[in-house]
Amino acid sequence: MSDLLSQDLGVAQSDKQPLPPTIASAATIAPTTRLTFVTGTVTIATITPPTSGYCEVLLCFTNGAPGVFLTSGNIKTAYQPIQNRPILLCYDPVSAKWWAAAVI
């Protein structure tokens, strides 16, 4: 995604932004909007940052037994997602890592 499309990651969006997509879990995923639904049970080790700087994404896992986040890629902390509970991830371009934040 180019930085010109960074509004697709913004908190406030208009009806001109794309609707949240659903993607399959995989070792590497590439969200393109702020909220992305994830299906499947494959563990995720790498998340491709959609912009070149700091960004945040919300992942919502729809499977009853989603795979964990692994630290073997660019995810800082291992985390076990919970079905239908969004998890906020913050990308730090300095460390080139995604940091998981609790969303209640």
Judge whether 97 lies within some domain: yes
Judge whether 26 lies within some domain: yes
- The C-alpha atoms of residue 2 and residue 89 are separated, in whole angstroms, by 19
Judge whether 31 lies within some domain: yes
Secondary structure (DSSP) of 37-88: EEES---B-EE--SSSS-EEEEEEE-SSSPPPBPSSSSBSS-B---TT--EE
Question: Residue 87 pairs with which residues in a beta bridge?
Answer: 59
Per-residue pLDDT tens for 13-22?
677 778 899 9
Per-residue pLDDT tens for 51-93?
889 999 999 999 999 999 999 999 999 999 999 999 999 999 9
Burial class (CB in 10 A: 0-12, 13-18, 19+), 59: buried
Per-residue pLDDT tens for 38-59?
999 999 999 999 988 999 999 9
Q: Residues 27, 44: contact at Cβ < 8 Å? A: yes
For residue 96, what are the domain limits? Answer: 21-101
pTM for the predicted model, two decimal places: 0.87
The radius of gyration of the chain's CA atoms, rounded to the nearest angstrom, is 13
Judge whether 1 lies within some domain: no
How many domains is the chain partitioned into structurally? 1
